[in-house]
Amino acid sequence: MVNLPSAENVATLAVAVLAGIVAWDAYWLTKQRRDVPALGKLPGGGFAWESEGVHEMVRQWGNLGSMAAMMVLPWALLEASNTPVIYAILWDVFLGLHLISLLIPKRYAITSTHLFADGQRYPWERLRLAKRQPKRRIMLLRNGWGPFGPLPLGGAPDSLGVAREYIKAMEQARSEQPSERESE
């Protein structure tokens, strides 16, 4: 018979991992302000914009529903697993903080070389515009990520319209560049 770790040890690990995720998200949220300090047309070419909470709700709707379910689930398992209630409380607190971080307005920027989103920098060579676009956000796909590659961008309709034009211009410029094999 296999000895499984105690429910309390598993709960401690789960809460610690979730706390790490929340801290990691907090870091990226603060980094986005440094990476995208100004909004509007950028001096070297490009465009930067900021979403609002409602735009992030539209952008993150699937994640928000998943987190609501994740907040409820431990309560159903407490008695069966004989886990102390404090772990479910801590789990819900950290998930609540993570949920709030998803709704905080985000800053985005498009430059000639990169997209800045969620505090991270993505080179254009690693992104492409999805063929089917949702109405209230822009959907980019990260190359090589398969079904885990969607990168939705939120914002007001007018900002997204300008951003779409910049993204199309980036894709057009990239398609017009000779490939490395052709230049050899």
Query: pTM to 2 decimals?
Result: 0.74
Q: What is the pLDDT along the chain (184 residues), one digit of tens a residue?
A: 788 788 889 899 999 999 999 999 888 888 888 888 889 998 888 899 998 888 888 778 888 888 888 888 888 888 888 888 999 999 999 999 998 888 888 899 998 888 998 888 899 888 888 888 888 889 899 988 877 788 888 888 999 999 998 888 877 877 776 655 455 4
- SS3 annotation, the chain: CCCCCCHHHHHHHHHHHHHHHHHHHHHHHHHHHHHCCCCEECCCCCEEEECCHHHHHHHCHHHHHHHHHHHHHHHHHHHHHCCCHHHHHHHHHHHHHHHHHHHCCCEEEECCCEEEECCEEEEHHHEEECCCCCCCCEEEEECCCHHHCEEEECCCHHHHHHHHHHHHHHHHHHHHCCCHHHHC
pLDDT in tens, 18-27: 999 999 988 8
